[in-house]
Amino acid sequence: TVLTQSPGTLSLSPGERATLSCRASQSVSSSYLAWYQQKPGQAPRLLIYGASSRATGIPDRFSGSGSGTDFTLTISRLEPEDFAVYYCHHYDSSPPMVTFGPGTKVDFK
C-alpha cells in the first residue's frame, strides 16, 4: 500500500483550521491507519489511531476521519505548537509491513 499526502506544505496562521489529506493506493482498514506529529529534532508522536481515535494526552482540536482510501486529519484551531510535520501511517498485518506517507508540513503563513 502506497500512501500519498496532500498538500506537501500548508501555510496557515494560528487560530486557523488545518485539513490534511492521506490517500491510500488501495482500500485499507481504518483500524490500521494512524497519524503522527513530528517537530524538528524530535521523535514522532502518535496523534490519532484507528483513523479517528485520539491518543493519550492529545488535545481535542485534533481529529481524524475517513475510510477506505481517503483519510483526513483536522486541526480545528492551530496553536503555535502545532506547526510541525504530520505523517499518516498504515500497518499491514499480513505479512507485517508498515508504510508512512511522505508527510505534510504545516508552517506559519
How near is the Cβ of 13 to other proteins at its closest, in Å?
25
How near is the Cβ of 72 to other proteins at its closest, in Å?
17
Interface residues with other proteins (CB under 8 A) are: 31-32, 34, 36, 38, 42-46, 49-50, 55-56, 87, 89, 91, 93, 95-103
E strands, the chain, in order: 3-6, 9-12, 18-28, 33-38, 45-49, 53-54, 62-75, 85-93, 96-100, 104-108
How near is the Cβ of 93 to other proteins at its closest, in Å?
6
How far apart, in whole angstroms, are the C-alpha atoms of residue 27 and residue 54?
Answer: 22
| Closer of 17 and 92 to other proteins (Cβ) | 92
Task: HSE, CB side, 13 Å, CA atoms: give it for residue 67.
Answer: 0
| Closer of 9 and 98 to other proteins (Cβ) | 98
| Closer of 2 and 17 to other proteins (Cβ) | 2
